[in-house]
Amino acid sequence: MTDTTPPAIAVIGLGYVGLPLAVEFGKIRQTIGYDINSTRISELTEGIDKTQEATSAELKASKHLSFTSDVSGIANCNIYIVTVPTPIDEHKNPNLMPLILASRSLGQVIAKGDIVIYESTVYPGATEEVCIPELEAVSGLKYNEDFFAGYSPERINPGDKTHRLPSIIKVTSGSTPEIADQVDALYQEIITAGTHKASSIRVAEAAKVIENTQRDLNIALINELAMIFAKLDIDTEEVLEAAGTKWNFLPFRPGLVGGHCISVDPYYLTYKAQAIGYQPEVILAGRRINDGMGSYVAERVTKLMTRKRIHIVDSKILILGLTFKEDCPDLRNTRVIDIYNELIDYHTSIDVYDPWADKAEAESSYGIQLVEKLEQNQYDAIIVAVGHKQFKAMDPSTLKNLCKKDHVIFDIKYVYPKEFVDARL
């Protein structure tokens, strides 16, 4: 009798990308979530997800899902999906070490006929140029003869409760036409929005890296326009609302560009471009603008304080929000820290308040001790850096009551009406 049991799946890396994937597959077939962080595994086993991407009920509903931090625990799987981070280093070059280490670990357990699918964002060619050789070297197996590969770029938007994994079209690809069909069929089991099968792994890799590069450039344009309009004493939001009445005007807004995608992925593409002898101009120009927004905000705040004759040295400043985006606990690559560091250089005293951020992580990652409650008449300046729902629910008069008589309120995220703040981005 033919065994009709679906192949078991292992998801490697259980962060914002991997966990939702494991939860969805775990509803329909045997799935093992693997992560090197044993604390994370213990929490998930108890039904706790600190990223808040999966509720306890969702974890419980995934009846075929289990977790392990022991690589031998995934040895009997047949499909391996890699969702580890792909950050950049201090020189803004790709740091592929998490991907390399994950590939080496998988090399210990993959067997003939297995498929390894990568979801981590990389430059075009990285899967077959970097990851596959690691798998071959450790396993002793030959690519596209003994084992196969696929690439299906992640499209998770942390904190977004509307655009969830099943409702986002999934790009798929495989190392052979037959494997591409299998990978595509696999994701169709959980993606209700449908899939788009790319012609090759390299095409799928390129598609992913340009998605966020396009967003980065659009935001950079609006950030530059905001700087121009500030010098012209024109309200940027009013300009964008007016321009937005045209049907094909794109609704981007100025702001800090952080996180693990939009502010990182363009550097993967520019790295590869430079490696093949092409010097990208537009992409890097956009990156320079967006990377400089923290310093720009700090400069505008200090100028506003000076105009009000508020002494900057030893002033007390409150920053509302530290995470890289609203209603999300993710602190990775937050650009709020740029504002903080710039203002610290002015010898100011800075409080940071964020009801979403993990206090221990804020201290270990950035050396910031988050304040737990806010007191009245304390601050010379307040910077609204993140548009958390808690801040949106705060009455503007409450915000003003936190300030001293002479003060500056700078609203990066357009949380409050312009008549209640001194300036907006």
Beta strands of 164-294 (E only): which ranges?
Answer: 170-172, 195-197
- Both tokens assigned to 337: 């820290």
| Given 77, 261, 328, 403, the catalytic residue | 261
- Beta carbons of 66 and 32 less than 8 angstroms apart: yes
Burial of 252 (0-12, 13-18, 19+ CB in 10 A): middle
The reply to whether 261 belongs to the active site is yes
Diameter over CA atoms, the chain: 85
User: How far apart, in whole angstroms, are the C-alpha atoms of residue 115 and residue 112?
Assistant: 9
DSSP codes of every residue in 52-73: SSS-HHHHHH-TTEEEES-GGG
Residues labelled catalytic: 261
